[in-house]
């Protein structure tokens, strides 16, 4: 983990361990959960999501709270093969800054289209990036970034868990079942589950959700 970066993940989870429906926006969050998420967005410097999240949800990824006029986080999309297009809402740089992290091998013409929209395009070698490469890509261009929110989906979160790049894991358990056709919170195998000893620091019942906040002891993860 690079010094001076705090990485937090936030996931709204169904009771059967699912987070959404691939290709279709699924509403798991009620008002209280959304307020909590937007407050968290307002407190971070950057938010990172995977390509499937953009393709499924078309999120804005801005902090939207009543009377909030503070800074907006840099919205970062990890899309190695460039399956998203600059027309998705997250790439509207008139609202907040946007960064695209993609493979050096992905379509050059498409990359130029993102640049024309004001999106910062960062290329990484290969097709599967480590959490360290992703965080470094953000930090190198924006050294002021101290707090990063991993907002999903499951593939991106699995990378950060497996690589020991999460300091705090927040899960809001929603009273809903999504069924096995939906995406799991950890679709990639957790390679070393025994390393993943979480310290439960907080449980609260808020609105309809049970919110679980875990800290990852630094001696356990990334060691
Ligand atoms: N409930 C919640 O809190 C929540 C939050 C966010 C999203 N979601 C849901 O989650 C679902 C999407 O999750 P998902 O697990 O399918 O996908 P995802 O993590 O959103 O995106 C996966 C894709 O992003 C790119 N990617 C992610 N990590 C990468 C890495 N380390 N290196 C290179 N590329 C990487 C890859 O694109 P390429 O395949 O093109 O290489 C990969 O296929 C949607 O249904 C969405 O609604 C739920």
Q: Quick check: CB of 107 below 6 Å from ligand 1?
A: no
Average pLDDT rounded to a whole number, residues 150-165: 94
Give the pLDDT band of residue 195 (cuts 50, 70, 90).
confident
Residue 169 tokens read as: 């894991």
Counting from 1 in the atom list of ligand 1, the atom nearest the Cα of 81 is 40
pLDDT of residue 61: 98
Q: For ligand 1, say whether the CB of 14 is within 6 Å of any of its atoms.
A: no
pLDDT per position as a tens digit, 64-105: 999 999 999 999 999 999 999 999 999 999 999 999 999 999
Question: What SS3 class is residue 217?
Answer: coil
User: Band of the pLDDT at 1, cuts 50, 70, 90?
Assistant: low
* Model pLDDT, residue 86: 98
- Model pTM score: 0.96
pLDDT category, 2, cuts 50, 70, 90? low
Q: Is the pLDDT of residue 3 over 70?
A: no
Q: How many CB atoms lie within 10 A of CB 53?
A: 26
Instruction: Give 90's DSSP letter.
Output: G
The residue-averaged pLDDT of 186-193 equals 86
Q: How far is the CA of 215 from the centre of ligand 1 (A)?
A: 23
Is the distance from CB of 93 to CB of 120 less than 8 angstroms?
A: no
For the chain, the average pLDDT equals 93
Ligand 1 atom with least separation from CA of 20: 45
CB 148 less than 6 A from any atom of ligand 1: no
Parallel, antiparallel, or unpaired: how do β-strands 147-150 and 46-50 relate?
parallel
Overall average pLDDT of the 112-120 stretch:
98
Q: Domain residues of the chain, as ranges?
A: 6-215
Centre of ligand 1 to C-alpha 150, Å, is 11
SS3 sequence, 134-194?
Answer: HHHHHHHHCCCCCEEEECCCHHHHHHHHHCCCCCEEEEEECCCCCCCCCEECCCCCCCCHH
**Cα–Cα dist 97/76, whole Å:** 9
Question: pLDDT tens digits, residue range 127-142?
Answer: 999 999 999 999 999 9
pLDDT at 198: 87
Q: What is the pLDDT of residue 207?
A: 85
Give domain 6-215's CATH architecture.
3-Layer(aba) Sandwich (3.40)
Does 83 sit in the ligand 1 pocket, CB within 6 Å?
Answer: yes
Position 223 scores a pLDDT of 45
Q: Which residues pair with 77 in a beta bridge?
A: 49, 100
| Pocket flag, ligand 1, residue 158 (CB < 6 Å) | no
Query: Residues 25-35: what's their mean pLDDT?
Result: 89
Of residues 164, 147, 166, the one with CA closest to residue 11? 166
pLDDT band at 27 (very low <50, low <70, confident <90, very high): confident
Rounded average pLDDT over 153-172:
94
């Amino acid at each position: 983990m690079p010094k001076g970066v705090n990485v937090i993940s936030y996931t709204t989870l169904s009771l059967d361990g699912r987070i959404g429906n691939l290709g279709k926006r699924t509403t798991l969050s009620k008002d209280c959960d959304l307020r909590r998420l937007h407050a968290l967005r307002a407190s971070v410097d950057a938010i990172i999501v995977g390509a499937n999240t953009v393709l499924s949800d078309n999120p804005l990824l801005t902090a939207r709270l009543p009377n909030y006029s503070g800074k907006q986080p840099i919205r970062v999309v990890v899309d190695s093969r460039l399956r998203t297009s600059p027309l998705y809402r997250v790439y509207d740089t008139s609202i907040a800054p946007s960064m695209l992290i993609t493979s050096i091998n992905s379509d050059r013409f498409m990359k130029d289209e993102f640049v024309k929209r004001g999106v910062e395009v960062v290329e990484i070698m290969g097709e599967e990036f480590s959490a360290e490469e992703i965080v470094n890509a953000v930090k190198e261009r924006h050294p002021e970034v101290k707090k990063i929110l991993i907002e999903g989906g499951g593939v991106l979160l699995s990378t950060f868990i497996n690589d020991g790049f999460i300091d705090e894991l927040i899960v809001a358990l929603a009273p809903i079942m999504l069924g096995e056709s939906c995406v799991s919170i950890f679709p990639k195998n957790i390679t070393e589950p025994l390393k993943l000893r979480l310290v439960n620091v907080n449980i609260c019942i808020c609105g309809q959700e049970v919110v679980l906040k875990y800290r990852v002891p630094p001696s356990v993860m990334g060691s």
